[in-house]
Amino acid sequence: MTVLDDINAGVREDMEDRKRLVSLAELKDRALAAAPARDAWAALGGASADRGELKVIAEIKRRSPSKGDLASIADPASLAVQYADGGAAVISVLTEQRRFNGSLADLDAVRARVDVPLLRKDFTLDEYQIWEARAHGADLILLIVAALSDQQLREFSALSRELGMNVLVETHTPEEVERAVAADARIIGVNVRNLKTLDVDRSVFATLAGSIPAGAVVVAESGVRNADDVAHYAAHGANAILVGEALVSDATPRERIAEFTAAGAAAIAARA
């Protein structure tokens, strides 16, 4: 069993517990009554006029399977405010509880404090989670190609769009990029962390990003330690970066986001 398989098994168990508390019908009512979703596509520079900037998806992340505990984050909403003040285009909130110590309560708290688009970062395996994301104020969800069939990719993407949300489609291999493109993904993430070993190989990004069609927003995921890593990704085609550990472990996340944005913009200008 791979790490992803193990995580997904826990996600399904926890979801079944939530289903016993809140029915799909009730979730649908909540989702349809929620305020309209914010436009994460536009926030990430989906319009060609904004492609000269590197966008930051700043993540609220307490722990990870590869590194263990990262930060306690007693007040995720306050951290989100710092992220927004630093210029984050999107804020990612991890809601998976077993491996990442996240929750939907974190998403609720952040939604109540910031106006920027929110990514519900979780392992989406069922339409229930999509309705759940919208009911709790998410504007963007994550779909991991390695965890889903082509039919699920299409159906989950379509449902998300119907609810006004955008989708970040995560890939790890050339074949997964092909599947994401075939599913008409507009925001494609390249995660350089191997899901079987959890090792990070930053060189993977350039290869995969080069096969993503022009017009898509390309997001570099994992492996951002400093401004040099940001510049590397931006130089090889990233329009945005998703970064968690480097921010939650930093005493000045607001300033770090500004530094990453500047490093990315300089690298994008140099490649033009």
Give 49-75 pLDDT, tens digit per residue. 457 899 999 999 999 888 888 999 999
Q: Is 222 considered catalytic here?
A: yes
170 is catalytic: yes
Residues 6+ apart with CB under 8 A from 191: 170, 171, 172, 221, 222
Work out the mean pLDDT of the chain and round it to a whole number. 95
pLDDT tens-digit series, residues 16-50: 999 999 999 999 999 999 999 999 999 999 876 45
Catalytic residue among 53, 55, 64, 121: 121
Catalytic residue among 53, 132, 176, 221: 221
Pairing state of beta strands 63-64 and 68-69?
Answer: antiparallel
Domain boundaries, the chain: 3-34+41-271
Model confidence at 271, in pLDDT bands (50, 70, 90)?
A: confident
Summarize pLDDT for 145-202 with one digit per residue, the tens: 999 999 999 999 999 999 999 999 999 999 999 999 999 999 999 999 988 788 899 9
Q: Which of 101, 157, 160, 191 is catalytic?
A: 191
What span, in angstroms and rounded, lies between the C-alpha atoms of 47 and 51?
A: 7
Which one is catalytic: 59, 132, 176, 245? 59
Which tokens is 242 given? 């998703």
Active site residue 23: no
Q: Is the pLDDT of residue 132 over 90?
A: yes
Give me the catalytic one of 61, 101, 160, 166. Answer: 61
One-letter amino acid for residue 44 of the chain = L
Tokens 């490649």 belong to residue: 271
Catalytic residue from among 170, 176, 239, 245? 170
pLDDT above 60 for 121 = yes
State which amino acid sits at residue 58: A
Catalytic annotation present for 16: no
- In this structure, whether the domain defined by 3-34+41-271 belongs to CATH 3.30.1360.40 is answered with no
pLDDT of residue 48: 63
The answer to whether 48 is a known catalytic residue is no
Which residue among the candidates 64, 157, 166, 222 is catalytic per the annotation?
A: 222
227: pLDDT strictly greater than 90:
yes
Residue 149 has, within 13 A of its CA and on its CB side, a CA count of: 4
- The arithmetic mean of pLDDT across residues 114-143, rounded, is 98
204 or 2, higher pLDDT? 204
Show the DSSP H helices in 87-209 as ranges. 104-111, 127-135, 150-162, 174-182, 203-209
Residue-wise pLDDT for 234-244, tens only, equals 999 999 999 99
Helix, strand, coil in percent for the chain, rounding step 5: 45, 15, 35
